[in-house]
Amino acid sequence: MTNDQTDAGDVSPAEVPPASGVPGLSRRGLLGLAAGIGAAGLALGAGAGAAAGVAVGRAKSGSGGASVYDFFGTHQAGITTPVQDHLHFASFDMMARTTRDDLIELLQDWTYAAARMSQGLDVSASGAVGGSPEAPPDDTGEALGLAANGLTITFGFGPTLFVADDGTDRYGIAAQQPAALQKLPAFLGDDLDPEATGGDLFIQACADDPQVAVHAVRNLSRIAFGRARLRWSQLGFGKTSKTTSDQATPRNLFGFKDGTANILADDQAALDAHVWVAGSDEPAWMAGGSYLVARKIAMLIETWDRVRLSEQNRIIGRDKGEGAPLSGGVETTEPDFAASTATASPAIDAHSHVRLAHPDFNDGIRILRRGYNYVDGNTNLGRLDAGLFFLAYQRSPEQFITLQRALSTDLMNEYVRHIGSGIWAVPPGAEAGSYIGAGLFG
> For 244-300, how does the pLDDT look when each residue is reduced to its tens digit (9 = 90+)?
999 999 999 999 999 999 999 999 999 999 999 999 999 999 999 999 999 999 999
Nearest to 288 by CA among 401, 425, 410: 425
pLDDT-derived band at 29 (thresholds 50, 70, 90) equals confident
What is the spatial distance between Cα 145 and Cα 132, in angstroms, rounded to a whole number?
A: 20
The pLDDT of residue 27 is 66
What is the spatial distance between Cα 307 and Cα 295, in angstroms, rounded to a whole number?
A: 25
Q: How many of the other CB atoms lie within 10 Å of CB of 175?
A: 8
With the CA atoms of 393, 156, 206 and 298 taken in that order, what torsion angle do they form, in degrees rounded to the nearest 10?
A: -60
Provide the percentage of residues in the chain whose pLDDT is more than 90: 83
Provide CB contacts within 8 A for 347, sequence distance 6+.
325, 326, 327, 328, 336, 339, 340, 341
The pLDDT of residue 45 is 36
What is the spatial distance between Cα 11 and Cα 94, in angstroms, rounded to a whole number?
A: 33
pLDDT-derived band at 42 (thresholds 50, 70, 90) equals very low
The pLDDT of residue 35 is 58
What is the spatial distance between Cα 150 and Cα 208, in angstroms, rounded to a whole number?
A: 6
What is the per-residue burial (b if ≥16 Cβ within 10 Å, else e) of 38-49?
Answer: ebbebbbebbbe
Tens digit of pLDDT for each residue in 163-186?
Answer: 999 999 999 999 999 999 999 999
Domain range annotation of the chain: 8-263
Mean pLDDT of all residues in 90-97:
98
Element (H, E) at 108: helix 100-117
The pLDDT of residue 26 is 80
What is the spatial distance between Cα 97 and Cα 114, in angstroms, rounded to a whole number?
A: 25
Mean pLDDT of all residues in 130-153:
96
pTM given for the model: 0.89
Instruction: Tell me what the pLDDT averaged over the chain comes to.
Output: 89
Tens digit of pLDDT for each residue in 204-214?
Answer: 999 999 999 99
